[in-house]
Structure 1
Amino acid sequence: MSWKTVRLDWDEDVATLTVDRPDALNALNVATLEAMGEAITEAADEDARALVVTGAGDDAFIAGADIAYMQDLSTTEGQEWGELGHDVADALEAFPAPTIAAVNGYAFGGGCEMAIACDLRVAAESAVIGNTEIDLGIIPGWGATQRLPELVGDETARRMIFLGERLDAESAAQAGLFGEVVSDEDLEDAVSELASRIAEKPAVAMRAAKQALNQRSEGSQTSGLAYEQRAFASLFGTPDQREGMSAFVEGREPEFE
């Protein structure tokens, strides 16, 4: 299949999903999320032995969700939007083979959530990552409240979410968000080498290893993710959400109640 804002490329048994909206810093809109979901399904159906996720251009992995689209959503529409993002993040987490986020720039909000839904993360030195939703009058809605503490610990996750902190690549690596940081020019080669090493391993055993690792928190995380979806949707239509997103779109500082 072909999509306008997503590419799926192959190098032998390794698939690479590229979000291709560089003029919008690869921000996620409805069409892009739907295309990502279809591309992930296609890669699984074609028995990819590793899946790399990255963004087009030099500036952003995925800068976040499309805030201009989100600012006028109702609670019901916010629920649908949250479910769509969850579906894609969950598909990355449940993908049969290991997934690798090649973080090549900004990874904020929904971009951070897509990165942490992957099994492994390799970052360029210029990468900056964070859950910045609080400054828009909402909370993370695509899995961060549940997945982030698993990676960085409770205290760091709370600081990132409560304060909307943005971490540079080295700080994020020290916190446990990135497994490896390389120079910008070496990112593609480093990720390619890692994906190739994974693809050379026995596929059935690799699938079992991933399923076993995911099983450790599945029970509590399922209920947590469901709660997050409800809480995320409930914030659409609140004065803080309207002000936070309007301020972002208009390029000014928000004035919350």
Structure 2
Amino acid sequence: MSEVTLRMEPPLAWVLLNRPEKHNALTPSMADGLVEFLGRLSTDSDVRVVMLAGEGRSFCAGADVSRLAQFKPADAVRFHRKLNIVCWAIRSCMKPVVAVLHGYALGGGLEIAEWADIRIAADNAKIGQPEVNIGLNGGAGGTIMLPRLVGRGVASYLAMTGEIVDAQYALSVGLVDLVVDACSLMDKARELGLKLASKPPEALWAIKQALSRFDEMSSWAGLEYEASLFGHLFSEEETRRRFDEFLKR
């Protein structure tokens, strides 16, 4: 049985972590599977939005500690680099990526979700970066994206204490973007995905690129890049069509 599966539901594609008996704890082969699917979906014209979710009772409980415990330093670096590639595959995907969190969303699992464009969580989700409790720092960009989302102070608190927080706290600090009743999570996630899919894909791509790159640019360079994307969209037929529709109202 594959540890990562793909369910096509055009215009949505669901990439599913599939080790439910282990709360979808991450393995090197799962990282490879995520990269493969994300790369394929990035250029699939039938797909407008990628939904990243977990089978069973949890999104992802983090890396599989039973395997981590056997790693030598070189093994750990190789695994971390695989997770780095997953993070970059999410960021560079030409489609919006929505992370759908329920149950445990911890460690490397949460950190992968932090690279998604939007995070929607069930109200029963347990969220955190507890790696410090086993003597590790965050992997999968956890010390990079966390402070960008919540600020350095909250990031320090979460990463240094290893505190596992509830979804409402995560929402209050900006770690997740929406919290919904656990019973309706998949329906609400699908609604969100379809709402995104109804928007012009070139505009979504431009917004994603600008938001993703702004953290790495000076303010002026960010403004210039945003302007170049803005101008590019005026060459798109879909943009012109929507102008016409708006003016006819």
> Is the pair's TM-score, using the shorter chain for normalization, greater than 0.5?
yes
1:54 aligns with 2:79: no
Q: Does 1:192 align with 2:190?
A: yes
Query: Are positions 1:111 and 2:112 aligned together?
Result: no
- How far 1:72 moved relative to its partner? 2.3
Q: Which residue of 1 aligns with 2:174?
A: 176
Query: Which residue is equivalent to 2:216?
Result: 218
Q: Say if 2:43 and 2:94, in contact at 8 Å, map to a contact too.
A: no
Give the aligned length.
217
TM-aligned CA deviation for residue 219 of structure 1: 5.5
Tell me what 2:5 maps to: 7
Q: Does 1:73 find its partner at 2:89?
A: no
Determine which structure has greater relative contact order: mean sequence separation of CA pairs < 8 Å that are 6+ residues apart, divided by chain length.
1
Scaled by the length of structure 2, the TM-score of the pair is 0.84
What corresponds to 1:87 in structure 2? Answer: 85
Alignment RMSD, CA only?
A: 1.3
Of all paired residues, the percent bearing the same amino acid is 33
Larger radius of gyration: 2
Q: Aligned partners of 1:93 and 1:43: how far apart in 2? A: 13
Quick one: which amino acid aligns to residue 29 of structure 2?
Answer: A
TM-aligned CA distance change 1:193 to 1:104, over 3 Å: same
Q: Give how far 1:37 is off.
A: 1.0
4+ residue segments displaced more than 3 Å: none
Kept after mapping to 1: 8 A contact 2:80/2:140: yes
Aligned mates of 1:82, 1:43 — CA distance in 2: 23
Question: Structure 1, unaligned stretches of length 5 or more?
Answer: 221-257
Unaligned runs of 5+ in 2: 219-249
Q: d(CA) in 2 for partners of 1:174 and 1:106?
A: 18
Counterpart residue number, 1:226: none
CA distance in 2, matches of 1:74, 1:214: 33
Is the counterpart of residue 157 in structure 1 residue 155 in structure 2?
yes
Equivalents in 2 of 1:219, 1:77: separation in Å?
33
Report the residue type matching 2:41 in the other structure. Answer: A
Query: 1:17 is matched with which residue: 15, 20, 23?
Result: 15
The separation in 2 between residues aligned to 1:206 and 1:32, in whole angstroms, is: 28
CA deviations over 1:84-114 (Å, ceiling 9, x no partner): 0111011112211111111011011001101
For each residue in 1:105-129, what CA deviation from the matched residue of structure 2 results, as whole angstroms up to 9, or x when unmatched?
Answer: 1011001101111010100011011
The residue number in structure 2 matching 1:235 is none
Q: 1:237-256 counterparts in 2 under 5 A?
A: none
The equivalent of 1:45 in structure 2 is 43
TM-score by structure 1 length?
0.82
The CA deviation string for residues 192-233 of structure 1, in whole angstroms up to 9 with x for no partner, is 01110111111111111110111111369xxxxxxxxxxxxx
Distance across 1 between alignment mates of 2:17 and 2:40 = 15
Structure-1 residue corresponding to 2:141:
143
Q: Which amino acid aligns with 1:54?
A: A
